[in-house]
Structure 1
Amino acid sequence: MSYKEKQIEKKYFSIGEVAKILNVAASQIRFWEGEFDIINPRKNRNGKRQFTKEDIEKVKLVYHLVKEKGYTLQGAKDKLKSGTQATKDTMEMIDTLKEVRAFLVDLKEKMD
């Protein structure tokens, strides 16, 4: 197995890295952490948040409901209480469609 094939997978992400992934301020994620029970990253001895990929998916879910779908905080909380699977499926479908669109735009630009 070559070096390229054997990539080290990162286990924990800082709040800054998560904020960069979602293009929001770290303070927004801290706020959502206080508002939504599903966002509960572990903290190291220094009190720094350590987000797993699963934690990031939960933050993305809140982001999707609040920022993309326009839910109020209470509306998003109610939606999450009623079940997250349908919301996750919709979010994943939207992400896939965005990737397809980006690919097609890139392809069009290369053809011009």
Structure 2
Amino acid sequence: MSADRPVQEFYSIGEVCTLTDLKPHVLRYWESQFRFLNPAKNRSGNRVYKAREVELIMLVKHLLYTEKFTIEGARQRVDQYRRSGELKTAARQALAFETVQELRVGLEEVAAVLDGRPVAPRPTPEPAESK
């Protein structure tokens, strides 16, 4: 999620996909698996996400793709954060971690270009099978 984007009250599914680097079908699946991901719908019936939901999506992405939790494990970890009052902090830390990772990759790509090395396409991360 880019730090240079203005904060909005609501985001469309396309905007959330751009911010989180996730596909719409992934977001829709996660909505069925995580009860706290329940975006409202606008008058046209399209999903609209609040900034808080985008932060939670980034936390789920971090737990699944970086920490390699299963869906159930990520669900339990989020519940643990919620019970301990650490959910907001955990979501923001996950966002910060993912932002730093994106910046690191970008800097490595710039360094490769400057050194005349080819830049490989970025792989799409996959969630783990178990944890």
TM-score interval (norm. to shorter): 0.7 to 0.9
Percent of aligned pairs with the same residue?
28
Q: 1: distance between equivalents of 2:42 and 2:92?
A: 32
Residue range with higher mean Cα deviation, 25-34 or 81-90: 81-90
State the shift of 1:69 in Å. 1.3
Distance 2:7 2:14 in 1: 18
Q: Distance in 1 between matches of 2:7 and 2:94?
A: 24
- TM-score under structure 1 normalisation? 0.72
More relative contact order in 1 or in 2 (CA 8 Å, sep 6+)? 2
User: May I ask how many residue pairs the two structures share in their alignment?
Assistant: 105
RMSD, aligned α-carbons: 2.6
The alignment partner of 2:45 has SS state of coil
**Residue 87 in 1 paired to residue 75 in 2?**
no
Deviations 1:37-63 (A, max 9, x none): 111111112221111211111111111
1:102 CA drift (Å): 6.1
2:41–2:48 contact (8 Å) kept in structure 1: yes
**Counterpart among 29, 34, 37 of residue 35 in structure 2:** 37
Normalised TM-score (structure 2)? 0.63
Q: Which runs of 5+ in 1 are unaligned?
A: 1-7
Q: 1:91 is paired with a residue of what secondary structure?
A: helix
The alpha carbon displacement at 1:35 in A equals: 0.6
CA distance in 1, matches of 2:100, 2:24: 27
Specify every segment of 5 or more residues in structure 2 that has no aligned partner in the other structure, as ranges: 1-5, 82-86, 116-131
Q: Which segments of structure 1 move beyond 2 Å, counting only runs of 4 or more?
A: 8-11, 84-90, 95-109
- Aligned twin of 1:5: none
